[in-house]
Every structure is written in structure tokens, then in C-alpha cells.
Amino acid sequence: MPHYAASTDIVALYGVQKLGLVAGLIQQGPDKIPDPGVVDAGLQAADDLIDTYLSAQYDVPIKYVSGSLRRIAIDVAMYTMALGRAQRTEEHRVRYEDALKLLDKMAKGDVGLGLPPQDADGDGVAETNPNVRRRGRFLDVGRG
């Protein structure tokens, strides 16, 4: 199963230099790149944390990854990798804590997951809103 975010997503948000600081660099041919094993472990830790929070209300893993979930995964992965290399900064801590707060709100149903409405019966009309799904029932029944 793919992660909620990829190393390319981390690079797009933080840059390869910051990723290299928290993941460490390895030699690959003539270039040094962020250690893919460390990056993968950080991304897996982020997935595990996200699934732990969201499993109370949603079926996990979430199949469609919204931008919000992707940013949460990136920030949790960066924080986790930074802890392992003593490279944690105040920015990492604040972004991690903000990610946990948003996950908590998602798990409680206070905010949605940022998912698109779904066409449950294939008629081209979206009948369900996965952002408000609760285990065993849908709260958007009758909403238009």
C-alpha cells in the first residue's frame, strides 16, 4: 500500500536539503540523496499515526488522500525523522502538534477529511459525502 505522502511530496514542501538533514544522506552514483530507508520509516510512522486517529470513525487506510492528509503525513514524517537524528527544530514541533490537532478534529468529526463527494450508485450524481462518514452510518443522509 502506498503511503499517504511520498518523498517527492516532502521535497516539494520542505526541499531536498531539509529532507537530507533529517533523513541523512547516502551516496548514489555521483550524487548524495536522502536515505530512502529513513524516509520510508518516517512515512510509515506517519501512516500508522494517521490510521490510529482516523480508525475510530473511518475505514483505514483512507483510499483517496486529500491535500490535508498529505500535509499531515509530511509533517509527522519530518518530525519523526528529525527525532531520530537529533535535528528537530521548533518548526518541526509546531507543525507536528498542529497536525495532531487537525487529526484529532478529523477523528471527532469536527472537520472533514477533504475528500470529494462520492457517486455511490454510479449514476453520475454524488450521493454521499465521505467527509462526514461515521463507522456504521452516514450523517449526510438527506443533505442536498
pLDDT of residue 56: 85
Q: Average pLDDT of 7-33?
A: 91
Cα distance between residue 84 and residue 74, in whole Å: 16
Give the pLDDT confidence of 33-51 residue by residue, as tens digits.
Answer: 999 999 999 999 999 999 9
Kindly list the distances between the CA atom of residue 38 and the CA atoms of 5, 33, 82, 104, 132, in Å, as whole numbers in the listed order: 14, 11, 10, 26, 34
Give the mean pLDDT of 48-62: 92
* Strand 137-138 to 133-134 pairing: antiparallel
pLDDT at 108 over 70: yes
Q: What is the mean pLDDT of the chain?
A: 84
Range with lowest mean pLDDT among 61-75, 93-107, 123-137: 123-137
Neighbouring C-beta atoms of residue 81, cutoff 10 Å: 27
When comparing pLDDT for 18 and 84, which is higher?
18
Give the span between the Cα atoms of 96 and 99, in whole angstroms: 5
Residue 57 phi, psi dihedral angles, 5° rounding: -125, -20
